[in-house]
Structure 1
C-alpha cells in the first residue's frame, strides 16, 4: 500500500510541476491567435513525416538494444524488443524514468532473459545517449555559440547546484557515509542481502559492459548515430510545417533539438513544461514571435507524445497476444 501511495504521489507531483510550468508559459497567450495558427497556417504533412521519422528512430533503438543484449544471453526477437521499448516510452509518460525498468521487465518476461542483465544494458544505453547528447551540445556551441551563451546566462540558474556541491555539508555527508562503510565493511559483507546484491551486481556489470562484446561494433555505432540524426530530423522537418520557421537553418534546428533534449531529461512526464520552456525560449531568441513559438512547441510536443501513447498502448495490448503459448493436448 505504501509503495502504491508513493508512486501515486510522485506521479501527481511531477505532473503538477510540469503543468505549472506549462500554465506559466501559456497563460498570457491569446488562445484565438494560437488556434488560428494551428488551423490555418500549419502544413500537417510535415508533422506526419516527423512522426514517421520518430517511429524509425525507435526501430533503430530496438536493433541497437538487441545488439547489446545478444552477448550476455541471447538475441531477443525484434518484435518483442520493439514492443517492450514502446511500452517503456509509454511508462515514462506516467512516471519519469519508469520506462527503463518497465521495458526490461516486459522483455525479461517474454524472452526469459535476466532482468538484472537487461537493466545493465539500459544503463549502457543511457551512458551512450549522454555522450551523444554532449557531442550534439558541442556542435551547438560551435555553430550557435551566441544562443548557447544567452540561454545559459539568462535562462538557467545553475548556481544553487554548484553551491551545494562545494558546501561543507556535502563533503561532511560524503565523508561520513564512506567512513561508516569502511569501519563496518566486514560485517556488511557477511550480510545475506549483500551476497544477493553481489550476484545482482555481477549480472548488472555483464549488461553494463556488454558493448565490449557486441559482434558488429560498426553497425552498433551506425545505429547510435542514426538514432540522434532521426531525433534531430523529427524536430527540424517540423520547421517546414510552419511559415514562420521555414527559413531557420539546420544549425538553428540543432539548437532547438539539443536544448529541448535537456528539457526531456527533467523528471517530468514527457518533458512537459521544461521542454516547452527551452524550445520556446530558443525560438524567440531566433526572432520568432512568442505566440508562434508557443504554437510550434505545443503542436510538436503534443503530436510526438500522442504517437508514443498510441503505439505504447497498442504494444501493451499486442505483446501478450503474440506470445500466447499454443495449447497442448
Structure 2
C-alpha cells in the first residue's frame, strides 16, 4: 500500500476510533443508575425544542449558502443557490467520514457542475473559514471575560489548545504565501502547474477584499453564528435539569463544544463528553450535561445526514437534467 494512502486512511480511522473509544469508555465508567438517568434524559427530551434547534441549524446552513455567492461574484462566477446549498450539505456529510474533506467536496461540486476552477472556489472557502474563525474568536473572547479560569483549565485538561490551532493556521498561511513568491520565479513545468493552482487559490481568497456587498457578507456571518448559538441554547429547554442554565453557562459549553468537535469525525464521542463536563461546573449533573451534549450533537448530525445524503443523491441527477436541457 502506498505510504500516502496509508497516511490518509490513518487520519480518517484514528479520529473515528478515538470517538468510539470515548463513547465506550464513558458508558463503561458510568454506573447502571447513571446510564439509566442519561438514557432517560435523552429519550424524554421535549421534541418541540429539538425541532426548533434543527430549524435554526437549517437556517444557518441556508445563510451560509447565500453568503457564498458574495465571494464568487468578484471573480465573475454565477451559481444557483440550490447548487451552493447542496454542495455545502454534501460537504458536511463528507466531514463526518473524513475530517476536512467537506471543503474539497464543496469546491469539487462547483467545479463539476458549474465549471468553476476548483482552486478558485476552494480559495473562497478558505476565506469563509477565516471569517468564521474570527467570529469564533470573538465569541471565545466574550466567554473568557466571564469564565476565564474555568474555560482555560478545562481546555488544558482535555488537551484542547485553540491558540495553538490559530498559530498553526497562521503559520501554514504564511508558508503558503511564501511558497507562491518562490514559485513565481520557477520555470520547471511541474512547479509551473503548482504555481497556477496556488494562484487560483489566492485569487479565490482575495475575493473577500473585492466584494461589492461587504455589509451583507458580514451580516450573514453574524447571522450564521447567532443561529449556531440559538440552536444550542434552545436545547436547554428540552431537558428539565438544564432548563435553568444561565446564558453564561450555555456560552461556556458552546465554546468548549466548538473546539472539541474538531478532535474526532464530526465530534463523535468527544462532543457530548466535553459539553457535559463543562456543565458540571454550573451545577448540572454529569448525566444531564452529557444528555444535553448528545441531544445537540444528535439533532444536528441527523440534519446533516438527511440533507447531506439527499444532496449527494440529487446533485448528479439535477446535473444530468441540466445537461440534457442545454443539449436539446
TM class, shorter-length: 0.7 to 0.9
Asked if 1:33 is matched to 2:37, the reply is yes
Contact 2:135 2:225 in 1 (8 A): yes
Q: Distance in 1 between matches of 2:130 and 2:326?
A: 43
> Match for 1:72 among 71, 75, 84?
75
What secondary structure does 2:68 align onto? helix
Equivalent residue number for residue 171 of structure 1 = none
User: Secondary structure, in 3 states, of the residue corresponding to 2:233?
Assistant: helix
Asked whether 1:57 is paired with 2:60, we answer: yes
Matched residue of 1:288: which SS? coil
TM, length-normalised to structure 1: 0.86
**Match in the other structure for 2:137:** 134
Which of the numbers 240, 243, 248 marks the counterpart of 2:245? Answer: 248
Query: In structure 1, the residue corresponding to 2:298 is in which secondary structure?
Result: helix
CA positional deviation for 1:2: 6.8
Q: How does 1:143-222 map to 2 (within 5 A)?
A: 143-156=146-159, 189-222=186-219
Asked whether 1:309 is paired with 2:305, we answer yes
Tell me if structure 1 keeps the 8 A contact 2:235–2:295.
no
* Higher alpha-carbon Rg: 1
**For residues 13-28 of structure 1, what are the structure 2 equivalents within 5 Å?**
13-28=14-29
Q: How many residues align?
A: 308
Report the CA distance shift for 1:278/1:76 in structure 2 as closer, same or farther (over 3 A).
same
- State how far apart, in whole Å, the 2-side matches of 1:19 and 1:35 are: 18
What's the offset of the Cα at 1:7? 4.1
Any unmatched runs of 5+ in structure 1? 166-173
Q: Cα deviations across residues 286-317 of structure 1 (Å, max 9, x unaligned)?
A: 11111111222122211211110111000111
* Contact 2:276/2:291, CA 8 A, preserved across alignment: no
The equivalent residue for 1:170 is none
SS of equivalent residue, structure 1 residue 70: helix
Match of residue 286 from structure 1: 282
Deviations 1:27-60 (A, max 9, x none): 22333222222233x1111011101000000011
Q: Secondary structure at the match of 1:287?
A: coil
Please state if 1:105 is matched with 2:116. no
**Runs of 5+ unmatched residues, structure 2:** none
Q: Structure 1 62/37 Cα, relative in aligned 2: closer, same or farther at 3 Å?
A: same
The alignment's C-alpha RMSD in Å is: 2.7
Between the aligned partners of 2:46 and 2:142, the Cα distance in structure 1 is 29
1:298 equivalent to 2:294? Answer yes
Q: Check the 8 A contact 1:67/1:75 in 2, yes or no.
A: no
Give yes or no for contact 1:276–1:297 (8 Å, CA) kept in 2.
yes
1:224 pairs with 2:221: yes
Tell me how far 1:327 sits from its aligned partner.
Answer: 7.6
Pair 1:22–1:69, CA change in 2 (3 A): same
Give the Å deviation of 1:153: 5.0
Give, in whole Å, the separation in 2 of the partners of 1:75 and 1:114. 13
Q: Quick one: distance in 2 between partners of 1:242 and 1:252?
A: 15
